[in-house]
Amino acid sequence: MTQPELSTSSAASSEPAASSDFAPDTLIVETGRPQRAYGAAVNPPIDLSSTFVSAGDITASPYAYARFDTPAWTPFEEALGQLEHSALPGLVFGSGLAAISAVISLVPAGGTLIIPTHSYQGALSSAEQIAGRQNFDIVTVDISDTEAVIAALDEAGHARPGQVAADGAAASASAGEAGSPGMLWIESPTNPMLEVADVPALTTAAKDRGFLVSVDNTFATPLLQTPLDLGADIVVHSVTKYLAGHSDVVLGAVVTGSTALREDLHTERSMRGGIAGPFEVWLALRGLRTLAVRLDRAQANAHAIAERLAAHPTVVETRYPGLPGDPGHARAAAQMNGFGAIISFTVDSAEKATAIAEAVRLWTPATSLGGVESLIERRRRHPAEPATVPEGLIRLSVGIENLEDLWADLEAALA
């Protein structure tokens, strides 16, 4: 068999540029590739080994056993760490909720978790379960009401007098540390109400009071919002959504800039053991490559559809942070690089909302979001969705199809 002509040396064909030189939309294409050399693969392999050659001190080996760490995760974890502006790689989890549970498990017994009333309902349900077992309090807040969140932080801090560190920044080294009053959980924009939190103001207030701050960045993605730059300690993703982007993977991830927190979360992942499979992570990295173009197209579609919905007589209210009249518009414009591709709109009854979701022919009636295909869902069909979410609220995950095809289908369903 004739061999392809290879370089006489296995050295790199040319020195690849450092990832930090690139804009994020280049970074997602270039990062996490194997060492550049003639004949080398362009993409990382799907590494299926469950164990790795090692002897002596097992902690000294970069890979020893695939529940702890595997090369199957490394390219994606490094890419996500860079995208979220951390010097440390991210940590991939078996689902977004596994990542959320690991982070919430850091809240110490006797502490408080302050969490948006309208955070993703799975996060809230999971938090309630963990709080029951680990004996911490949960306070739900309207995350768009900065004064109310600060009042909740004050109250939770006062409930543990003497526990608030004088230096708030130092206090957030680990939520599990004695003396931490707990964690502020931010989701912005929220799912499904699309409320926008004042992330810099809330992270400052929380850290001044010794709270750890975690942000679910699923709706925005690191291309539209980098919470670590806005003062957060931990960023969480449902990779299932935009990052993987094709509705064919369930996966989650966490990124932090703190070595101590990363260690805590790594331990949490290794010891609970619900880890991600190599193929899923490979698919997520493959999907991540096109995030910028998918998001550009989906956002442009969403913006136009939101404007048309806002002018439609059947629609009672449209929430999309990109609309100038939206309550979250100014904040989103200040702290995000774009408004995302999720819209929530309300019609006057559950029956009408269900009929619309059943009438569409191009949009797919389904839960989840962030894939290339447009999805539509009446959110209160989930029993756990809070009663403050209107019965007639429909969440749209706008995809990358042709705008006029999408609108024609939705308009016909509205009629």
Ligand X SMILES: Cc1ncc(COP(=O)(O)O)c(C=O)c1O
Q: Please report, as ranges, the residues that interact with ligand X according to CB under 6 A.
A: 95-97, 100, 120, 122, 187, 191, 216, 218-219, 238, 240, 250, 252, 368
Q: How far is the CB of 190 from ligand X (least distance, A)?
A: 8
CA distances from 94 to 99, 273, 280 (A): 8, 9, 9
Q: Which is nearer to ligand X, 237 or 303 (CB)?
A: 237
Please report where in the chains the tokens 């270039």 appear, as a residue: 30
Q: Which is nearer to ligand X, 162 or 383 (CB)?
A: 383
Q: How far is the CB of 364 from ligand X (least distance, A)?
A: 15
- Give the integer Cα–Cα distance in Å for 114 and 213: 10
Q: What is the CA radius of gyration of the chain?
A: 22
Q: How far is the CB of 197 from ligand X (least distance, A)?
A: 13
- With 0-12 CB in 10 A as exposed, 13-18 as middle and 19+ as buried, what is 325? exposed
Contact 100, 270 (CB under 8 A): no
Please report where in the chains the tokens 């389904």 appear, as a residue: 366
Question: Quick one: which H or E segment has residue 288?
Answer: helix 278-288
Q: How far is the CB of 88 from ligand X (least distance, A)?
A: 21
Contact 299, 341 (CB under 8 A): yes
Q: Which is nearer to ligand X, 108 or 252 (CB)?
A: 252
Q: Which two tokens stand for residue 63?
A: 């890979």
Q: How far is the CB of 368 from ligand X (least distance, A)?
A: 6
Q: Which two tokens stand for residue 332?
A: 């989103």
Would you name the residues annotated as active-site residues?
Answer: 67, 120, 216, 241
Q: Which is nearer to ligand X, 122 or 386 (CB)?
A: 122
Q: Which is nearer to ligand X, 94 or 157 (CB)?
A: 94
Under 8 Å CB-to-CB from 317, ≥6 apart: which residues?
345, 346
